Amino acid sequence: MFDTLSQWLFDSSGLTAHGFCLLWEPGLIWTYALSDSAIGVAYFSIPVALGVIARRRSDLVFRPLLWLFAAFILLCGTTHWLDLLTLWVPVYWLGGVIKAMTAIVSVFTAIALWRLLPQALTFPSPAQFRQANEALALSQAQLNQAQKMEAVGQLTGGIAHDFNNMLAIVIGSLDMARRRLTGAEHPTVSQCIKNAAEGAERAAVLTSRLLAFSRQQPLEPRVIDPNKLVSGMSELLRSTIAEPITIESVMAGGLWRVFADTAQLESALLNLAVNARDAMPNGGKLTIETANMDLDERYAELQTEVTPGQYAMISVTDTGGGMPPEVIERAFDPFYTTKGVGKGTGLGLSQVFGFVKQSGGHVKIYSEIGQGTTVKIYLPRYLGSASTVRIEHPKDCLPEGSTHEIVLVVEDDTKVRRMSVDALSELGYTVIQAESPVEALQMLETHKPNVNILFTDIVMPEMSGRELADRALKRLPGLKVLFTTGYTRNAIVHNGVVDPGMTFLSKPFTLNQLARKIRQALDGSD
C-alpha cells in the first residue's frame, strides 16, 4: 500500500514536459519561452547592479539587505530559466530544489526588509538632504563670520587698551596745561594746546569705538525708554543732518523699555544717522522708527548669536544709494569704509555692532541698490520694575572739591597716576597716592588717614583694584570708591557691565569727567 503510494507520488518516469500542459500550442509555447527568457535575462542583470552598489557603497547601512536581494532575484531568475527548460525537458526535481532555495532566501529577505522598515522610513529624502546641506552651509558661514569678528575684536581690543592708557596721559596733561595758562603766554601756545586736545579727543573717540567693537567697552546700562531717547536726540540730529534731508520719526505706542548704556546707544544712532546722511548727498528722507518685536526661534536660527525673545527695535532708514551685498557683508568690519581717505574711519557700524552685541541685542542691515538702507537695532526688552532715568547732558561748570576731602589714588602706571594726582589737586582735593594696592593698604594701616574716597585702577599686578577696595572698606566702612580702567576683562566688570552700585570712570577721561565722577561718588548721587 505504502509502496504503491510512494511510487504514485515520486515516480518520475511518467512525467511529461511542461509544454504538454500548453497542448504544444506553438503560440503559447513561444509566449512562455520568450517571456521566461526576458525575465531570466533581466533577473540575472539586476543582482549584478545590486552587487556593484553594495561593493562600491561600503557606507550604506542596508548593504547586507542588498546582497540578500541580489541572491533572491538571482534565484528567481534561475527559476524562470528552468521554467523555460521544463517546457521541453521535465527536470522538475531541479526546479523544486531551486524553488526551495528561493523560498529560504525570500523568507530571510522579507524578515530583513521588515526589520529595516522603521529605519528606512526615517531616511531623509534628497530634498531634505539638500535643505540640510543648505542649512549647514549657512551655519558654517555664520560661524566663520562670528570667528572672524571674534578674532578681529580681540586684536582691536588689545590695541585700544594700550592706546587708552596713553591717551589718558595726553588728555589729562593737556587739560592741566590749559588750566595753568595765565593768558600772558604767546597766543599760539593756547591754540596749540587746543589743537592737541582736539586731536586727542578724536583719538579717544576712535579708541572707544574700537573697544565698543571688541565688546569690551565698559557699559553703564540704565533702564531707557527708546522713544524718549530718540526724541531727546532730535536737536542733535537736526544739527547733524542738514537740508535737503528731511527727518521723520515714527514712535510706537507702548514701546518696551530696554536696559542699555545711554551714551553708547545715542552714539550708535548718531552713527547710523551720519551714514544715512552720507548716503543721500542730494537729499532724501531719514526715518527713525521704533517698534516692539518678537524674534522667534525660526528667525534666531537663521542669524548668528540671536536669542529668541522680545526686543524693542529702533530702525534708521534712508532713501540713499543703498549697499551692494558685498558691502553689507563687510560693513561691520572695523576700518571697512568705501568713503575714501580722510572721509570715513570705517568704525561707525563697528561701534553699533559691538555695542548692540555687548548689550545682548541684534543688528541687521536691509539695503537695496538705488532704494535705500534700513539698519535695525534690536535691544532686549527690560522686564524689571526700575523706572526709566532722565537723560541728562553734563553742564559746563566743573564741580570742585575741598581740602578736607581726601582722595587716595592707586595706579601702577606712574604717568597716569601723576596726571590723576595733579588733576585732583587742581580740583581742590587733598590727594595721597600709592603705586600698588599693597602700598595703599600699608598707608591706610600705618598713617590711618581719614580717606574719603579711593580712586583706583582695576587691573594691577599682585592685587586687583576690586580686592583692594574690599579690604580698604573693611578698615574704613564709609569709604567711597571710584574705579577706573581702560579695559573690562577684570574683577568688577562682568560681561562688560559695571557691577550695580559701583561708580566707574572709563579711561581715557577728561578733567571734566573726572571732576564729575569723583563728586558723584562722594555725594552718592547718580
Which one, 156 or 337, has the nearer CB to ligand ATP? Answer: 337
Question: Quick one: which segment of 61-69, 237-245, 345-353, 443-451 binds ligand ATP (CB under 6 A)?
Answer: 345-353
Assigned C-alpha cell, 506: 572709563
Question: Quick one: which segment of 78-86, 143-151, 345-353, 437-445 binds Mg ion (CB under 5 A)?
Answer: 345-353
Question: Quick one: which segment of 132-140, 166-174, 347-355, 417-425 binds Mg ion (CB under 5 A)?
Answer: 347-355
How, if at all, do strands 497-498 and 493-494 pair?
antiparallel
Nearest to 159 by CA among 119, 105, 216: 216
Told to check if 323 binds ligand ATP by CB under 6 A, we report yes
Choice from 318, 405, 426, 457 touching ligand ATP (CB under 6 A): 318
Nearest to 316 by CA among 284, 342, 359, 345: 284
Which one, 216 or 350, has the nearer CB to ligand ATP? Answer: 350
Which one, 318 or 411, has the nearer CB to ligand ATP? Answer: 318
Neighbours of 324 (CB within 10 A): 12
Q: How far apart are CA 128 and CA 217, in angstroms?
A: 43
Told to check if 345 binds ligand ATP by CB under 6 A, we report yes
Question: Quick one: which segment of 42-50, 165-173, 176-184, 320-328 binds ligand ATP (CB under 6 A)?
Answer: 320-328
Question: Quick one: which segment of 195-203, 339-347, 404-412, 446-454 binds ligand ATP (CB under 6 A)?
Answer: 339-347
Neighbours of 219 (CB within 10 A): 25
Helices 437-446 and 465-475, packing angle to 10 deg? 10
Nearest to 362 by CA among 441, 299, 419, 320: 299
How many residues are given for the chain? 526
Neighbours of 41 (CB within 10 A): 12
Which one, 245 or 505, has the nearer CB to Mg ion? Answer: 245
Dihedral class, residue 401 (left if φ above 0, else alpha if ψ from -120 to 50, else beta): beta
- Report, in Å, the least distance between residue 443 CB and Mg ion: 48
Site mask for Mg ion (CB under 5 A), range 274-293, x = bound: -x------------------
Contact between 340 and 319 under an 8 Å Cβ cutoff? The reply is no
- Report, in Å, the least distance between residue 352 CB and ligand ATP: 8
- Report, in Å, the least distance between residue 309 CB and Mg ion: 29
Whether residue 118 is preceded by a cis peptide bond, meaning omega within 30 degrees of 0, is no
- Report, in Å, the least distance between residue 293 CB and ligand ATP: 20
Q: Give long-range contacts, CB 8 A cutoff, 24+ apart: 359-368.
A: 359/219, 359/221, 359/258, 359/259, 359/260, 359/261, 359/264, 360/307, 361/260, 361/311, 362/295, 362/303, 362/305, 362/306, 362/311, 363/332, 364/303, 365/323, 365/328, 365/331, 367/322, 367/323, 367/328, 368/322
Which one, 246 or 307, has the nearer CB to ligand ATP? Answer: 246
Told to check if 286 binds ligand ATP by CB under 6 A, we report no
Q: Which residue, judged by CB position, is nearest to ligand ATP in the bound state?
A: 348
Q: How far apart are CA 274 and CA 291, in angstroms?
A: 22
Question: Quick one: which segment of 44-52, 133-141, 272-280, 496-504 binds ligand ATP (CB under 6 A)?
Answer: 272-280
- Report, in Å, the least distance between residue 145 CB and ligand ATP: 16
Told to check if 327 binds ligand ATP by CB under 6 A, we report yes
Told to check if 348 binds Mg ion by CB under 5 A, we report yes
- Report, in Å, the least distance between residue 348 CB and Mg ion: 3
Choice from 78, 86, 165, 350 touching ligand ATP (CB under 6 A): 350
Q: Which residue has the cell 549697499?
A: 323
Question: Quick one: which segment of 194-202, 222-230, 344-352, 429-437 binds ligand ATP (CB under 6 A)?
Answer: 344-352
Told to check if 339 binds ligand ATP by CB under 6 A, we report yes
Q: How far apart are CA 42 and CA 74, in angstroms?
A: 10
- How far is Cα of residue 193 from the mean position of the Cα atoms in its chain? 42
Told to check if 267 binds ligand ATP by CB under 6 A, we report no
Told to check if 351 binds Mg ion by CB under 5 A, we report no
Neighbours of 360 (CB within 10 A): 19
Helices 126-180 and 414-426, packing angle to 10 deg? 60
Name which of Mg ion, ligand ATP, none residue 160 binds, using a CB cut-off of 5 to 8 Å depending on partner kind: none
Choice from 78, 216, 262, 373 touching ligand ATP (CB under 6 A): 373
Which one, 61 or 155, has the nearer CB to ligand ATP? Answer: 155
Site mask for ligand ATP (CB under 6 A), range 63-102, x = bound: ----------------------------------------
Assigned C-alpha cell, 386: 526700575
* The dihedral formed by the CA atoms of 291, 294, 300 and 304, expressed in degrees to the nearest 10: 30
Q: Give the binding site for ligand ATP (CB under 6 A).
A: 271, 275-276, 279, 318, 320-323, 327, 331, 336-339, 344-350, 373
Q: Give the binding site for Mg ion (CB under 5 A).
A: 275, 348
